[in-house]
Amino acid sequence: MKIISYNVNGIRSALSKGLLDWLKEASPDVFCIQESKAQPEQIDTDQFAALGYKSYLHSAERKGYSGVGIFSKTAPDLVRSGMDNAQFDSEGRVLRADFGDLTIVCVYVPSGSSGEDRQAFKMQFLEAFLPWLNNLKRERPNLIVCGDFNICHKPIDINHPERQIGVSGFLPEEREWMDRLQASGMIDSFREFNHEAEQYSWWSYRGGARYRNAGWRIDYLWASEPLRQQLRNGDILQEVVHSDHCPVVLEIEK
Protein backbone atom coordinates (compact mmCIF):
# COMPACT_ATOMS: atom_id res chain seq x y z
CA MET A 1 0.00 0.00 0.00
CA LYS A 2 1.47 3.32 -1.09
CA ILE A 3 0.49 6.51 0.73
CA ILE A 4 1.58 9.93 -0.53
CA SER A 5 1.17 13.19 1.38
CA TYR A 6 1.58 16.53 -0.40
CA ASN A 7 1.06 20.15 0.59
CA VAL A 8 -0.09 21.37 -2.80
CA ASN A 9 -0.23 25.07 -1.83
CA GLY A 10 -3.49 25.53 -3.70
CA ILE A 11 -4.94 22.51 -5.48
CA ARG A 12 -6.26 24.52 -8.40
CA SER A 13 -2.79 25.96 -8.98
CA ALA A 14 -1.20 22.51 -8.70
CA LEU A 15 -3.70 21.06 -11.17
CA SER A 16 -2.76 23.75 -13.66
CA LYS A 17 0.89 22.62 -13.32
CA GLY A 18 0.23 18.98 -14.22
CA LEU A 19 -0.66 17.44 -10.86
CA LEU A 20 -3.01 14.89 -12.40
CA ASP A 21 -0.43 13.64 -14.91
CA TRP A 22 2.01 13.10 -12.07
CA LEU A 23 -0.64 11.45 -9.88
CA LYS A 24 -1.55 9.02 -12.66
CA GLU A 25 2.09 7.97 -12.93
CA ALA A 26 2.77 7.83 -9.17
CA SER A 27 -0.48 5.93 -8.58
CA PRO A 28 -0.63 5.90 -4.77
CA ASP A 29 -3.39 3.93 -3.10
CA VAL A 30 -4.09 6.91 -0.85
CA PHE A 31 -3.22 10.52 -1.70
CA CYS A 32 -3.45 13.09 1.11
CA ILE A 33 -3.21 16.81 0.47
CA GLN A 34 -2.86 19.88 2.62
CA GLU A 35 -3.48 23.55 1.90
CA SER A 36 -6.10 22.90 -0.77
CA LYS A 37 -7.15 26.57 -0.57
CA ALA A 38 -10.52 25.70 -2.08
CA GLN A 39 -14.11 24.93 -1.20
CA PRO A 40 -15.35 21.45 -2.22
CA GLU A 41 -17.39 22.86 -5.09
CA GLN A 42 -14.24 24.52 -6.47
CA ILE A 43 -12.45 21.17 -6.86
CA ASP A 44 -13.34 19.09 -9.91
CA THR A 45 -13.40 15.68 -8.26
CA ASP A 46 -14.46 14.10 -11.58
CA GLN A 47 -10.85 14.52 -12.70
CA PHE A 48 -9.72 12.39 -9.77
CA ALA A 49 -12.54 9.91 -10.31
CA ALA A 50 -11.27 9.40 -13.87
CA LEU A 51 -8.03 8.13 -12.30
CA GLY A 52 -9.92 5.83 -9.95
CA TYR A 53 -9.93 8.04 -6.84
CA LYS A 54 -12.77 8.75 -4.46
CA SER A 55 -12.51 12.24 -2.96
CA TYR A 56 -13.00 13.37 0.64
CA LEU A 57 -12.47 17.03 1.48
CA HIS A 58 -12.44 19.19 4.59
CA SER A 59 -12.20 22.86 3.71
CA ALA A 60 -11.76 25.94 5.85
CA GLU A 61 -14.73 28.24 6.38
CA ARG A 62 -12.54 31.06 5.08
CA LYS A 63 -12.31 30.82 1.31
CA GLY A 64 -8.93 30.32 -0.33
CA TYR A 65 -7.32 29.18 2.91
CA SER A 66 -6.00 25.98 4.48
CA GLY A 67 -8.02 22.79 3.80
CA VAL A 68 -7.12 19.09 3.63
CA GLY A 69 -8.22 16.20 1.46
CA ILE A 70 -7.91 12.42 1.08
CA PHE A 71 -8.19 10.72 -2.31
CA SER A 72 -8.29 6.93 -2.22
CA LYS A 73 -8.69 4.09 -4.69
CA THR A 74 -10.66 2.09 -2.12
CA ALA A 75 -13.63 3.64 -0.34
CA PRO A 76 -12.91 4.09 3.37
CA ASP A 77 -15.15 2.42 5.93
CA LEU A 78 -15.41 5.72 7.79
CA VAL A 79 -14.46 9.35 7.12
CA ARG A 80 -14.54 12.06 9.78
CA SER A 81 -13.62 15.72 9.54
CA GLY A 82 -12.01 17.65 12.36
CA MET A 83 -11.33 16.98 16.03
CA ASP A 84 -14.71 18.07 17.44
CA ASN A 85 -13.07 21.39 18.24
CA ALA A 86 -14.76 24.31 16.50
CA GLN A 87 -11.79 26.64 16.98
CA PHE A 88 -9.56 24.45 14.83
CA ASP A 89 -12.10 22.61 12.71
CA SER A 90 -13.27 25.88 11.15
CA GLU A 91 -9.83 26.07 9.50
CA GLY A 92 -10.09 22.64 7.83
CA ARG A 93 -7.00 21.04 9.34
CA VAL A 94 -7.74 17.39 10.21
CA LEU A 95 -9.35 14.59 8.19
CA ARG A 96 -9.54 10.92 9.20
CA ALA A 97 -10.24 7.88 7.04
CA ASP A 98 -10.48 4.24 8.19
CA PHE A 99 -9.53 1.37 5.85
CA GLY A 100 -10.18 -1.92 7.58
CA ASP A 101 -7.97 -1.96 10.67
CA LEU A 102 -5.84 0.94 9.37
CA THR A 103 -6.60 4.61 10.09
CA ILE A 104 -5.02 7.46 8.14
CA VAL A 105 -5.13 11.00 9.51
CA CYS A 106 -4.28 13.91 7.23
CA VAL A 107 -3.27 17.06 9.13
CA TYR A 108 -2.21 20.58 8.26
CA VAL A 109 -0.63 22.14 11.36
CA PRO A 110 -0.95 25.94 11.50
CA SER A 111 2.04 28.07 10.62
CA GLY A 112 3.29 30.46 13.27
CA SER A 113 5.52 32.51 10.99
CA SER A 114 3.15 35.48 10.60
CA GLY A 115 3.38 36.63 14.20
CA GLU A 116 2.92 35.94 17.90
CA ASP A 117 -0.85 35.42 17.71
CA ARG A 118 -0.59 32.69 15.08
CA GLN A 119 2.36 31.09 16.87
CA ALA A 120 0.23 30.89 20.01
CA PHE A 121 -2.62 29.43 17.94
CA LYS A 122 -0.20 26.86 16.51
CA MET A 123 0.87 25.74 19.97
CA GLN A 124 -2.76 25.55 21.11
CA PHE A 125 -3.55 23.37 18.11
CA LEU A 126 -0.62 21.06 18.85
CA GLU A 127 -1.64 20.71 22.50
CA ALA A 128 -5.17 19.77 21.42
CA PHE A 129 -4.07 17.50 18.58
CA LEU A 130 -1.79 15.16 20.56
CA PRO A 131 -4.41 14.08 23.16
CA TRP A 132 -6.95 13.66 20.35
CA LEU A 133 -4.44 11.47 18.52
CA ASN A 134 -3.63 9.44 21.61
CA ASN A 135 -7.33 8.80 22.22
CA LEU A 136 -7.78 7.74 18.61
CA LYS A 137 -4.76 5.43 18.86
CA ARG A 138 -6.32 3.59 21.79
CA GLU A 139 -9.36 2.90 19.62
CA ARG A 140 -7.47 2.44 16.34
CA PRO A 141 -3.90 1.25 17.12
CA ASN A 142 -2.82 0.93 13.48
CA LEU A 143 -2.46 4.60 12.72
CA ILE A 144 -0.69 6.69 10.08
CA VAL A 145 -0.59 10.46 10.55
CA CYS A 146 0.59 12.41 7.55
CA GLY A 147 0.81 16.02 6.53
CA ASP A 148 2.52 19.35 6.85
CA PHE A 149 3.50 19.81 10.49
CA ASN A 150 5.31 23.14 9.96
CA ILE A 151 8.04 21.88 12.31
CA CYS A 152 11.58 20.62 11.70
CA HIS A 153 12.18 18.02 14.38
CA LYS A 154 15.98 17.71 14.39
CA PRO A 155 18.90 19.90 13.23
CA ILE A 156 19.39 17.44 10.34
CA ASP A 157 15.92 18.41 9.09
CA ILE A 158 16.73 22.07 8.38
CA ASN A 159 19.38 23.92 6.43
CA HIS A 160 21.97 25.76 8.57
CA PRO A 161 20.25 25.06 11.90
CA GLU A 162 22.62 27.48 13.63
CA ARG A 163 20.93 30.30 11.69
CA GLN A 164 17.39 29.25 12.62
CA ILE A 165 17.47 29.99 16.34
CA GLY A 166 14.20 31.61 17.38
CA VAL A 167 12.51 30.94 14.04
CA SER A 168 8.97 29.53 14.00
CA GLY A 169 9.12 25.95 12.82
CA PHE A 170 12.35 25.27 14.72
CA LEU A 171 11.50 26.59 18.16
CA PRO A 172 12.46 24.49 21.21
CA GLU A 173 8.82 24.13 22.28
CA GLU A 174 7.79 22.92 18.82
CA ARG A 175 10.61 20.39 18.66
CA GLU A 176 9.79 19.24 22.21
CA TRP A 177 6.22 18.62 21.04
CA MET A 178 7.63 16.44 18.25
CA ASP A 179 9.64 14.56 20.89
CA ARG A 180 6.40 13.89 22.76
CA LEU A 181 4.66 12.75 19.59
CA GLN A 182 7.47 10.29 18.95
CA ALA A 183 7.55 9.14 22.58
CA SER A 184 3.81 8.43 22.40
CA GLY A 185 4.59 5.52 20.09
CA MET A 186 4.81 7.15 16.66
CA ILE A 187 7.57 6.41 14.14
CA ASP A 188 9.02 9.01 11.77
CA SER A 189 8.78 6.61 8.85
CA PHE A 190 11.15 8.46 6.52
CA ARG A 191 13.98 8.24 9.06
CA GLU A 192 13.51 4.48 9.28
CA PHE A 193 14.92 4.32 5.75
CA ASN A 194 17.02 7.46 5.27
CA HIS A 195 19.38 9.08 7.78
CA GLU A 196 21.05 11.47 5.35
CA ALA A 197 21.18 15.26 5.67
CA GLU A 198 19.68 17.72 3.18
CA GLN A 199 16.48 15.69 2.80
CA TYR A 200 13.97 18.51 2.65
CA SER A 201 10.30 18.79 1.65
CA TRP A 202 9.76 22.57 1.60
CA TRP A 203 11.70 25.51 0.20
CA SER A 204 10.98 29.21 0.32
CA TYR A 205 10.15 30.80 -3.01
CA ARG A 206 12.72 33.47 -2.17
CA GLY A 207 16.37 33.60 -3.09
CA GLY A 208 16.49 30.46 -5.21
CA ALA A 209 16.13 28.31 -2.09
CA ARG A 210 14.99 25.23 -3.97
CA TYR A 211 17.80 25.49 -6.50
CA ARG A 212 20.28 25.74 -3.61
CA ASN A 213 18.39 23.06 -1.63
CA ALA A 214 18.16 25.44 1.33
CA GLY A 215 15.07 23.69 2.62
CA TRP A 216 13.17 22.36 5.59
CA ARG A 217 11.73 18.89 6.25
CA ILE A 218 8.32 19.73 7.64
CA ASP A 219 6.18 17.10 5.86
CA TYR A 220 5.92 13.73 7.60
CA LEU A 221 4.31 10.32 7.53
CA TRP A 222 4.20 9.08 11.13
CA ALA A 223 3.27 5.44 11.74
CA SER A 224 2.20 3.93 15.05
CA GLU A 225 4.47 1.34 16.65
CA PRO A 226 2.22 -1.67 15.83
CA LEU A 227 2.88 -0.96 12.13
CA ARG A 228 6.68 -1.05 12.43
CA GLN A 229 7.08 -4.50 10.88
CA GLN A 230 4.88 -3.47 7.95
CA LEU A 231 6.94 -0.45 6.92
CA ARG A 232 8.56 -1.09 3.55
CA ASN A 233 9.87 2.22 2.20
CA GLY A 234 9.87 5.95 2.87
CA ASP A 235 10.86 8.67 0.45
CA ILE A 236 10.80 12.38 -0.35
CA LEU A 237 10.14 13.17 -4.02
CA GLN A 238 12.20 16.33 -4.32
CA GLU A 239 12.08 16.31 -8.13
CA VAL A 240 8.27 16.77 -8.16
CA VAL A 241 7.40 20.46 -8.55
CA HIS A 242 3.79 21.69 -8.35
CA SER A 243 4.21 23.60 -5.10
CA ASP A 244 6.79 25.05 -2.71
CA HIS A 245 6.57 21.63 -1.01
CA CYS A 246 7.19 18.21 -2.55
CA PRO A 247 5.41 14.90 -1.93
CA VAL A 248 6.46 12.46 0.80
CA VAL A 249 5.83 8.72 0.49
CA LEU A 250 5.32 5.72 2.74
CA GLU A 251 4.86 2.15 1.52
CA ILE A 252 3.52 -0.46 3.91
CA GLU A 253 2.68 -4.14 3.66
CA LYS A 254 -1.11 -4.32 3.79
Q: Which residues 6+ apart lie within 8 Å of 208 measured at CB?
A: none
Instruction: From 87, 70, 185, select the one nearest 136 (Cα to Cα).
Output: 185
Instruction: From 100, 180, 190, 184, select the one nearest 142 (Cα to Cα).
Output: 100
Give burial (CB, 10 Å; 0-12/13-18/19+) of 173: exposed
- Identified catalytic residue from 29, 148, 219, 235: 148
CA dihedral 38, 31, 114, 176 (to 10 degrees): 150
Give burial (CB, 10 Å; 0-12/13-18/19+) of 138: exposed
**Integer Cα distance of 81 and 101 in angstroms:** 19
Active site residue 179: no
Which residues are designated catalytic?
Answer: 148
